Structure 1
Amino acid sequence: MPSPVTRRSARRRRPPVPDPTTSPVLEVSDLQVSVGDHLVAVHDVSFSIGRGESVGLVGESGSGKTLTCRAALGLLPKTGEVDHGRIVLGGTELTGATRRTWNDVRGTRLGAVFQDSASYLNPSLTVGHQLAEQLRVKRGLSRTDAHRRAVELFAEVGLHDPEGVFHQYPHELSGGMQQRVLIAIAVSCEPELLIADEATTALDVVIQAEILDLLDRLRESHGLSLLLVTHDLAVVAETCERILVMYAGEIVESGTTEEVLARPRHPYTQALMGVATIGTWERRALEIIPGQPPSVGEDMPGCRFAPRCRFATEVCTSGPVALADLGEGRAARCARIDDLEGAPA
């Protein structure tokens, strides 16, 4: 009998899996990011996103998800820097790129939507003006054409009375409407990749579902790739074809969403399943993950999850643990991966 995750995911129509023979839209290799006084927050992270593919990046707060995305967008905080690694967007090397190069890429080839929509909209300008300005600056449209295209985009993202919304200020819109405006701005210049960082966290469950459906539709209609950053496994189960599980700055498991959520191979992924409500409306007592993640920059000789893991032994702390290739696109970073195969989640 399939798990609740499998049953729920099966009811949702998914676009075709991207052709693996085409070059990825984004390649991140051995990325290390430090913050503050050279405290390493992201440890040698590598992943790629295919053209038209949706990938979920999931983990607890402080796991390094947002820093990884900020590095891919060239928007690290002032105290952050890329120590080493490569970031390649559609064949364009962005590692060490100039500000001009980043300005040319962001908004055209890279789009982004963040959690607190109100803080990314100028309160003194109408939302229509802000979208039209993007179209005029990035695509060179005339004022009339930019206005017309902005109204079309507002209609495409599901805003009722798009012409009326064009003339409204951010404070006159609900949180869900503000998020739709940001999505319209993000896709206005037909980017290759859209990064949505906790884009549905502050919304109620009904609006959250509508935004996820919108992102799925836009991915198909615009042919863009999606990197969805969240701490919510249910969001990934509904939206993404592939999942990257991140803990304490490292990717600890990866694979297709259906496989990872149905048969998690890393104890941390198993623990996340215990605190999630995926694919079932039944009431149940949610578990907790004991302990706390390591501090940013904390030096640990072995598995970074070992202090919180119920399966940890001496071998887990004796040395670095590599991300093991499990075949068929699966990988997990666990020193006891063979011993724990088939262990109950």
Structure 2
Amino acid sequence: MSQPEHDAYAASPRTLEVEDLHVSVGDHLVAVSGVSFQLRRGEAVGLVGESGSGKTLTCRAVLGLLPETGEVDRGSIVLGESDDRVDLIAAGRTVWDRVRGSRIGAVFQDPGSYLNPGITVGRQLVEQLRVRGGLGRTEARERAVGLFTEVGLHDPAGVFQLYPHQLSGGMLQRVLIAIAISCEPELLIADEATTALDVVIQAEILELVARLRRDHELSLLLVTHDLAVVAETCDRILVMYGGEIVESGPTEQVLTDPRHPYTRALLAVATIGDWTRRTLDVIPGQPPSAGEEMPGCRFAPRCRYATQACVSAPVVTTEIGPGRSARCVRLDELDTEPGAVLVQDRIEATA
């Protein structure tokens, strides 16, 4: 992203602005620390990292759906701009309940667990349209069938009469997407929404989400561990580790020129562009536990480049270009390793 492009991007309307978000779980164990990012109108941002990195907790905080033991300790979560601007944390639970399902939609990994097994999927969508959208019964039914058509369900009128157990995983995810977009939200949060699907259905769902973004000018926050999904879907990437964002920037730049050692490590074990790999590579070591006190870089115990400077003091985020940043004290010292296989190399080699 050039400087003029970044300036135009920075001036574009914001859908979501998260600033200095801190989330604790259990006995005041810090699980998300100082997370800040923005989503622009119509933009797709991928939130990536290993399990336990804080991705899902960050999204749950935005939705106001933290687990019973979770709590936002400080920070702001602002939805919209100008007259529609609202700080969800400051506004409290009543406002959160009002915007969730109307201005913010969400789809999750196991759609069946978010649908009532004793009620037809059509009736569940109609209830959403009546309660959140304010439609009458007949209008809501017509709109529901139209939404089932829009998300690519064959025989939408027939699907309307079915119960969740009568639908496949891909069909259930389409139903949940229909519910999520039914009230024309500004923001769609997809938390591992394609993880449990086979590759063919996954591709169909990703194409559906991309089309809905274009048609409805949706902003998308996509939580995933799959860098291939991010490469195909997202405009920007936020890389999380140990509850912190360690690198962020435009998708192509981060995937082809990663600057943080953790991002490099993720790419080194990814299979993007190399579908013939038969071995499962891993990053040695384990991520830190929530609440584990570490004065310096949280990735240092697993980082091949770590020095005393990395562990002795907090590491600040450094701007490394228009729209790009990383949290590493050795950014100026680390060049791409000779012979390192990065995503672009794999894509070109297998094209």
Structure 2 length normalisation: TM-score?
0.91
Deviations 1:267-292, CA, capped at 9 Å, x for gaps? 11111011111123333644320000
Three-state SS of the structure 1 residue aligned to 2:231 is helix
What aligned pairs does 1:141-290 form with structure 2 within 5 A after superposition? 141-283=135-277, 285-290=279-284
Deviations 1:151-178, CA, capped at 9 Å, x for gaps? 0100110100000000000000000100
Deviations 1:275-322, CA, capped at 9 Å, x for gaps? 111123333644320000111100001100000011111111110011
Q: Distance in 1 between matches of 2:321 and 2:90?
A: 33
Contact 1:126 1:166 in 2 (8 A): yes
Partner of 1:322: 316
Deviates more, 1:308-317 or 1:20-29: 20-29
Partner of 1:45: 35
Deviates more, 1:277-286 or 1:195-204: 277-286
1:98 aligns with one of 73, 76, 92: 92
Q: Distance in 1 between matches of 2:114 and 2:336?
A: 45
Superposed displacement of residue 329, structure 1: 0.9
Superposed displacement of residue 97, structure 1: 2.7
Answer yes or no: is 1:36 the counterpart of 2:26. Answer: yes
Deviations 1:112-138, CA, capped at 9 Å, x for gaps? 001111100000000000001100111
Superposed displacement of residue 23, structure 1: 3.0
Contact 1:28 1:85 in 2 (8 A): yes
Contact 1:132 1:146 in 2 (8 A): yes
Partner of 2:62: 72
Q: Distance in 2 between matches of 1:38 and 1:205?
A: 39
Partner of 1:308: 302
Code of the aligned partner of 2:159: V
Structure 1 length normalisation: TM-score?
0.93
Code of the aligned partner of 1:148: E
Contact 2:35 2:244 in 1 (8 A): yes
Contact 2:271 2:277 in 1 (8 A): no
Partner of 2:133: 139
Q: Distance in 2 between matches of 1:160 and 1:241?
A: 30
Q: Distance in 2 between matches of 1:128 and 1:210?
A: 22
Q: Distance in 2 between matches of 1:74 and 1:295?
A: 23
Three-state SS of the structure 1 residue aligned to 2:76 is strand
Deviates more, 1:200-209 or 1:284-293: 284-293
Deviations 1:161-205, CA, capped at 9 Å, x for gaps? 000000000000000100000000000000000000000011111
Number of equivalences: 329
Deviates more, 1:51-60 or 1:98-107: 98-107
Moved over 6 A (4+): none
Gaps of 5+ in 1: 1-16
Superposed displacement of residue 206, structure 1: 0.7
Contact 2:23 2:73 in 1 (8 A): yes
Three-state SS of the structure 2 residue aligned to 1:96 is helix
Q: Distance in 2 between matches of 1:121 and 1:265?
A: 41
Q: Distance in 2 between matches of 1:194 and 1:307?
A: 35
Three-state SS of the structure 1 residue aligned to 2:30 is strand
Identity of aligned residues (%): 72
Q: Distance in 2 between matches of 1:120 and 1:38?
A: 28
Q: Distance in 2 between matches of 1:287 and 1:98?
A: 44
2:12 aligns with one of 19, 22, 40: 22
Partner of 1:343: 337
> Are residues 50 and 33 of structure 1, via their aligned partners in 2, closer, same or farther at CA, if it must alter by over 3 Å?
same
Partner of 2:348: none
Deviations 1:204-258, CA, capped at 9 Å, x for gaps? 1111111100000000001110000001101100100100000010000000110
Deviations 1:71-106, CA, capped at 9 Å, x for gaps? 101111111111110100002111133322112101
Contact 1:18 1:52 in 2 (8 A): no
Code of the aligned partner of 1:170: P
> Are residues 56 and 274 of structure 1, via their aligned partners in 2, closer, same or farther at CA, if it must alter by over 3 Å?
same
Q: Distance in 2 between matches of 1:101 and 1:93?
A: 9
> Are residues 19 and 323 of structure 1, via their aligned partners in 2, closer, same or farther at CA, if it must alter by over 3 Å?
closer
What aligned pairs does 1:104-143 form with structure 2 within 5 A after superposition? 104-143=98-137
Gaps of 5+ in 2: 1-6, 341-351
Contact 1:18 1:51 in 2 (8 A): no
Deviates more, 1:197-206 or 1:92-101: 92-101
